[in-house]
């Protein structure tokens, strides 16, 4: 059970980050260019939202079955355990909350410019936070 979830979380991370990067590049390149927000732009942003939410759900399960998750919580002196049991989960939850805010703000926005702007700003913030707390040494 643990190994399966850990492998999924490890593999899905590539997809989630890739789609998020594409959504950020797409919205930044369109922002300020008078481009219309099309169904394609909406789909890219939606895939990034879904991809990161799946990663969040699997991460939450992993947190309770992994020896590096809740079981290691409190071992704050060990940097790698502090990363997987506290910093990575906490920062990623905040990051995905920001991405969700960007998605709902784009839905309420009327102009294409405002739609691109909310995706660009909130998704980029989320991406930076996610990348800042990846346990790189476990991943590669």
Positions in the binding site for ligand HEM (CB under 6 A): 6, 9-10, 13, 16-17, 52, 55-56, 59-60, 62-63, 66, 68-69, 84, 88-89, 92-93, 130, 134-135, 138-139
Nearer to ligand HEM, 24 or 30 (CB): 24
Work out how close the CB of 74 gets to ligand HEM at its nearest, in angstroms, rounded to a whole number. 14
Would you say 43 and 37 are in contact if contact means Cβ atoms under 8 Å apart? no
Nearer to ligand HEM, 31 or 88 (CB): 88
Structure tokens given for 33: 């260019």
Looking at the chain, the number of H-run helices and the number of E-run strands are 6, 0
Work out how close the CB of 34 gets to ligand HEM at its nearest, in angstroms, rounded to a whole number. 32
Structure tokens given for 104: 């709902």
Nearer to ligand HEM, 38 or 90 (CB): 90
Count Cβ atoms below 10 Å from residue 34 Cβ, excluding itself. Answer: 7
Would you say 59 and 87 are in contact if contact means Cβ atoms under 8 Å apart? no
Work out how close the CB of 28 gets to ligand HEM at its nearest, in angstroms, rounded to a whole number. 19
Work out how close the CB of 83 gets to ligand HEM at its nearest, in angstroms, rounded to a whole number. 9
Interior angle at CA 90, CA 87 and CA 95, nearest 5: 110
Nearer to ligand HEM, 70 or 113 (CB): 70
Cα separation, 84 vs 66, whole angstroms = 10
């Amino acid at each position: 059970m643990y190994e399966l979830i850990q492998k999924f979380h490890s593999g899905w991370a590539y997809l989630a980050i890739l789609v998020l990067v594409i959504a950020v590049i797409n919205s930044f390149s369109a922002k300020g260019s008078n481009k219309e927000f099309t169904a394609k732009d909406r789909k890219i942003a939606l895939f990034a939202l879904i991809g990161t939410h799946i990663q969040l759900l699997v991460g939450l399960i992993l947190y309770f079955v992994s020896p590096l998750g809740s079981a290691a919580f409190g071992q704050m002196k060990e940097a790698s355990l502090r990363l997987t049991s506290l910093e990575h989960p906490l920062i990623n939850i905040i990051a995905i909350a920001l991405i969700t805010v960007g998605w709902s703000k784009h839905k309420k926005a009327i102009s294409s410019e405002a739609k691109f702007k909310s995706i660009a700003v909130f998704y980029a913030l989320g991406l930076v936070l996610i990348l800042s707390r990846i346990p790189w040494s476990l991943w590669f």
